[in-house]
Structure 1
Amino acid sequence: MSEAASVPESVPSEEPAWSYLFDMDGVLVHEEHPVPGAGELLAELTERGIRFMVLTNNSIHTPRDLRARLLGNGLDVPEDAIWTSALATAQFLDAQRPGGSAYVIGEAGLTTALHKVGYVLTDRDPDYVVLGETRTYSFTAITRAVRLLEAGAKFIATNPDSTGPSREGSLPATGAVAALMERASGRAPYYVGKPNPLMMRSALRALGTHSQNTLMIGDRMDTDVRSGLEAGMPTILVLSGISGRDTAEAYPYRPTRIIDTVADLVGRSADPFPG
């Protein structure tokens, strides 16, 4: 059973040419399995020519890697329809200091994105220390990063998520390691990923659409719904991931609509807000 809230005044009352931004984990896939209805909805959007993009705060993988992962789950998402916090971070740094340098703690998704915008990766007097997600955080690398921050490098982190999921349970994630580095260095990071609306706006630019007719669909009130709201988008919370209906009630803001899974949008992608 789904629950609808009133549609914001900024949403046209007649059928708009909607575009979609999807969070990935908890919305389209859950623990390496597709969420019911995800494949059907993506196929419907493709058939109707409705633009969409899949977002993730995880900076480990490149869009090519993520496309392969999604294909393995039966979900066909083009490589250029995947937007990661690593890509948003690279775009942000390129705008701030073109051709700069960075000491990076992270994996291929982040280093590849920075290389593509012309950044030099170095541990000698870099402009930035950039922290991303990795499954092999090194105390030696963290210590080096702290010393570079003390020497004047600016601190950037791809996202503020404190924990990430795994089959065995929660894992320390970028936000937790950033807190350690901030405490040790006295330098606070600037987070690029959700809930910073900067990531949403960069995704909108990549998609070539506008906030007033683009939906943000996510499973977390604190990142997906918040960033969508702050970027001026209507939002849909799905109950197939982190936040539940009770969780949603605890926040001072509301999504435009709450649904069980994206299956509730199949057949309604052109009109996602029933009267």
Structure 2
Amino acid sequence: MRYQGYLIDLDGTIYLGKEPIPAGKRFIERLEKAGIPYLFVTNNTTKRPQAVRQNLADNFEIQVPLATIYTATLATIDYMAAKGLGKKVYVIGEAGLVEMILEAGYELEEVEPDYVVVGLDSDVTYEKLTVATLAIQKGAHFIGTNPDKNIPTERGLVPGAGSLLALIETATRVAPVIIGKPQAIIMEKSLERLGLNAEQVLMVGDNYETDIQAGLQNGIDTLLVLSGFTQKADVAALVKAPTFIVDSLDDWSV
């Protein structure tokens, strides 16, 4: 089957940490040559799309238009715009997340914000968590940028945004609306950006729990590439199989 568009993960699919995956670069070049639209879909909220693009260019020799990069930050902003509750927000997150929300026309407010947005924040404090908790208790709409409980680092698995969300949910007894993969919101917004429907698109990624589940849970065909998180030994135990599985993106014809 020929797909009219692609949603593509980055780390583990196009590159692996700081190491290139040559097949990933060749895959993007084939899409470009065929004129097939694609969107990189990432849960990372610590980097602005410009930085993601620069990383691809500088470290992996992959040149792509800025419009092909769709982060959980952009999806969060798109969600708030569609929700239309107001322009006041309290944010727990890195500078990139905060700056982009402000650039979208929102104002920071601690006491009675319309939204509380929580993403990964390496400088999180008890006071920040307290402000968020009190605002949600007063009725602010609780948004989590992504559900990732952990982040793999050289030190091991450290807390991710999902861990902060769990703490605030415990304190408020309010479940957040979660934006990032594998949830529906980022996938629906990605399809809107491509101008295609779910049946026309293939989700490509290396992580069964996020990338492939994002497709499985949202009616999008999936291509699992065994170049990163999910290994060949894991495949037999998968509850629901991806639509396609390849060892390398060199094995996939667009």
Contact between 1:34 and 1:75, CA under 8 Å: does it hold in 2? no
Q: Report matched runs for 1:169-208 at 5 Å.
A: 169-208=156-195
Aligned equivalent of 1:210, options 197, 204, 216:
197
Q: Matched residues in 2 for 1:20 and 1:206: separation? A: 11
Instruction: Read off the aligned partner of 1:93 and give its amino acid letter.
Output: M
Structure 1 runs (4+) greater than 3 angstroms displaced: none
- Partners of 2:3 and 2:149 lie apart in 1 by 36
CA-CA distance at 1:116 after TM superposition: 3.9
Q: For residue 24 of structure 1, what is the aligned residue in structure 2?
A: 10
Write out aligned runs for 1:1-275 (5 A): 16-72=2-58, 73-97=60-84, 99-265=86-252, 268-269=253-254
Distance across 2 between alignment mates of 1:103 and 1:63: 22
Distance 2:61 2:176 in 1: 37
Q: CA deviation at 1:81?
A: 0.2
1:170 is paired with a residue whose SS is: strand
Residues in 2 aligned to 1:139 and 1:248: alpha-carbon distance in whole angstroms: 41
SS in 2 for 1:177: helix
TM-score, with structure 2 as normaliser = 0.93
Cα deviation, residue 23, structure 1: 0.8
What is the identity, as a one-letter code, of the residue corresponding to 1:33? Answer: E
When structure 1 is superposed on structure 2, of 174-183 and 130-139 the one drifting more is: 130-139
Alpha-carbon RMSD across the aligned residues, in angstroms, is 1.7
Matched residues, number: 253
Check conservation: 1:28, 1:38, Cα contact below 8 A: yes
Structure 1: 5+ residue stretches without partners: 1-12, 270-275
- Give the aligned residue type for 2:192: R
The higher-RCO structure (CA 8 Å, 6+ apart) is 1
CA-CA distance at 1:17 after TM superposition: 4.9
- Please give the secondary structure, in 1, of the residue aligned with 2:13: coil
Task: Give ranges in structure 2 of 5+ residues lacking alignment.
Answer: none
Alignment check: 8 A CA contact 1:217 1:238 kept: yes
Amino acid at match of 2:89: A
Give the structure with the higher percent helix.
2
Deviation digits for residues 44-66 of structure 1, max 9, x if unmatched?
21122111111101111111011
